[in-house]
Structure 1
Amino acid sequence: MTLIPTRNPARVLFPVLLAAVLAVAACGRGGGSDRPPEPGDRAVAEVRNETIWASDVKREAVAQGLVGEGEPLDVTSDLFRRVLDEVIDQKLLAREAERRGLDNSALAQRRLAATRERILGDMLVETVVNSEITDRKVAELYQEQLRLAETSEEIRTRLILSRTKEEADAVIGILGQGAAFEAVAAQSSVDDATRYSGGDLGYRTLDVMPEAYANALRDKPAGSTVGPFQTEGGWAVLRVEDRRKETPPTLEQARPQIVRYLTYEGVRALLEQLRNKADVEVLLNGDAISQEPASATGRPAPPVSRAAPVAAPAKAS
């Protein structure tokens, strides 16, 4: 079960925007106060009388994608120490830049202002969007996906791929004499990826198969031999081993992808609301062009069911 957004400019904007907002969390480094910025926080270093807290290191690790937002980061771990060293180095570089007066230039002020805006945007997303993603909403979307998955079917097949139709016809003749499909695949198939496993392609849904395979298998029952038919790689003969209802992921397996989808939707709705209230103009070549909200291209289609979530483990054959 995979949540797949439609391909339109608005839909592309929000993941990119969100990634950009979250990535600059590293720029919002804490410190400078003797009071813990978060309940239960712990001071882990000092740089020129400026305190570095465990939460500063965790925020940097999250910004670099080394740990997830809700994952713990043990202060005794090698990863924590490595990120702590990076935070210390960054503070030393920043203080030296200030000593040299580099922060006073117009360019520095504009870049610092842009960083501040991005961090504030990040905090707005955390406050408005993330706070609205509840366990109930995640469970409701999961149940919706389960209903869609009820009509989906997985097919397990084996493949023998030949270079020419004549060779594929010869394979059909050998199989017709009672030869084991797995043995013929190992001896005759030119598909190195599957021949050593008896041509086993595993379980797949029709929508993720090449079109020629999907068309050939659409109505064939288990036990059928299908082909030969031409594909991009040669002439294929398939055997249908099994057909079964798609096995959906558990709620916990699907949760990360559902949360991402709900986050993108929340950012999209928030931006649409802000753009509708704002007067925005884009100036190109001296001409003022009315800026239509990015969300005006239409609300993205709801998620659809597919074979398995990104986070789900591979199904056993």
Structure 2
Amino acid sequence: MKSSVRLVSLISAMTCALLLAACGQNKVAEKPPEPGDTAVARVNGQVIWASDVKREAVAQGLISEGEPLDISSEVFRQRLDEVIDQKLLAAEATKRKLDKDPIAQRRLAAARERILGDMLVEGVVEKAVTEDAIRKLYAEQQKLSKRSEEIRARQIIVGSQAEAESVKKLLASGASFDALAMERSTDQATRFNGGDLGYFTLDVMPEPYGAALKDAQKGQLVGPFAAEGGWVIVKVEDKRTEDPITLEAARPQIVRFLTYDQVRDILEKLRGGAKVDILIGKPQDVPGAPAREPASAPPEPPAGAPAAPPASAPSAPAKK
């Protein structure tokens, strides 16, 4: 697997190196391409800079854009060896005049367009996705979001309504909920922790729980009511307003949303000012095939926006 990943990386970097050669820019460059850059190797007189190695590490997903990479680390040295291999392979390809082949020229042109397009998008996104923009969208979403009420409860599930009524009478007379949950409850996920379900909102619980607990108050015994698995008795331990998502937890989703918004905006402007003629027909629908998502499909909503909750089993605690 590692060898195949490296091969893809080599081919990609060879394309970039051939692009430089095709443009007549493969001469020795002694001036650092970035302020504070460090020369880390020389291949047939051509300097390899630390930024070249870092760019390769970013391309392989080993570090994020802008993240530092220690030149004394093993990761840096491994990437340096790969960059050296890439330059040697590209130089040999140029020597064999592979860059003059018509097919190679088309691939080089496509790679150049892809790189330039990426650079344009990166520049636009960098200017737009700022800390101020992130905080502003976060604040807007917090104003719009609806914070639900959370309930903390314990449950005991038994096999029949009569047994449930018997358990409820024992609880009403002062018996320990924890002890009865351990002795009587058939729910293996909660019986050993006193039937504790943790904190949850009603929308993530099965319908019988939502209906039974809708108007329940703190300290109240609710039930018995029928649910999947048996007859349920619930004790409401606490009620509180759901905590809002923090900025740091919401940040990745907000950044994705803002990035998508900027890319969509620039593409709409470019397409609006260009003449684009599609010379092929629309793709045919294949019976049974999954529906295609349009290219302009909206992104995920920013964090904090209301969303449909997933179904949850009654024995799975939501929060502690």
TM-score, reference length from structure 2: 0.69
CA contact (8 A) 2:147 2:244 kept: no
**Relative contact order (C-alpha < 8 Å, sep 6+): which is higher?**
1
Structure 1 residues 119, 45: CA separation in 2 closer, same or farther (over 3 Å shift)?
same
Compared CA separation, residues 49 and 286, structure 1 to 2 (3 A) = same
Q: Is 2:73 the partner of 1:77? A: yes
Shift of the alpha carbon at 1:264? 1.0
SS in 2 for 1:68: coil
1:3 is matched with none
- Tell me: CA distance 1:257–1:174, structure 2 relative to 1, closer, same or farther (3 Å): same
TM-fit CA distance, 1:124: 0.7
Give the Cα–Cα distance (whole angstroms) in 2 for the partners of residues 25 and 195 of structure 1.
58
**Equivalence for 1:130:** 126
Letter in 2 for 1:173: S
Structure (1 or 2) with the larger CA radius of gyration: 2
Among 272, 275, 278, the alignment partner of 2:271 is: 275
Q: Secondary structure at the match of 1:51?
A: strand
Partner of 1:8: none
Correspondence 1:261 to 2:238? no
Q: Which residue of 1 aligns with 2:170?
A: 177
Of 248, 251, 255 in structure 1, the residue corresponding to residue 247 of structure 2 is 251
- Given residue 83 of structure 1, which amino acid in structure 2 is its aligned partner? R
Secondary structure, aligned partner of 1:62: helix
After superposition, the C-alpha distances for 1:175-231 in whole angstroms (9 at most, x for unaligned) are 441254444444555555544444434333445555565455444333344553434
**AA of the residue aligned to 1:275:** R
Distance 1:259 1:170, change over 3 A: same
Change (3 A) 1:252 1:114: same
Q: Which runs of 5+ in 1 are unaligned?
A: 1-23, 288-292, 308-314
Cα contact 1:223–1:241 (8 A) shared by 2 = yes
Q: Return the letter of the residue paired with 1:36.
A: P
Partner residue in 2 for 1:230: 227
Query: Hey, what does 2:104 align to over in structure 1?
Result: 108
Q: Which amino acid aligns with 1:230?
A: A
Name the SS of the counterpart of 2:48 in structure 1. Answer: strand
- Pair 1:51–1:229, CA change in 2 (3 A): farther
TM-score, normalised to structure 1, is 0.69
Is the contact made by 2:218 and 2:237 (CA closer than 8 Å) also made in structure 1?
Answer: yes
Change in Cα spacing, 1:159 to 1:83, as seen in structure 2 (3 Å) is farther
Partner of 2:43: 47
Q: How many residues align?
A: 277
1:8-27 deviations in whole A, cap 9, x for unaligned?
xxxxxxxxxxxxxxxx8997
Instruction: Quote the sequence identity (%).
Output: 54
**C-alpha root-mean-square deviation of aligned residues, in Å?**
3.8
The 2-side partners of 1:132 and 1:149 are apart by 24
Report how far residue 117 of structure 1 moved. 1.6
The one-character-per-residue Cα deviations of 1:250-304 (angstroms, maximum 9, x if unpaired) are 33343232222111111111111111112223232599xxxxx954x78986664
Mapping of residues 127-166 of structure 1, within 5 Å: 127-149=123-145, 151-160=147-156, 166=160
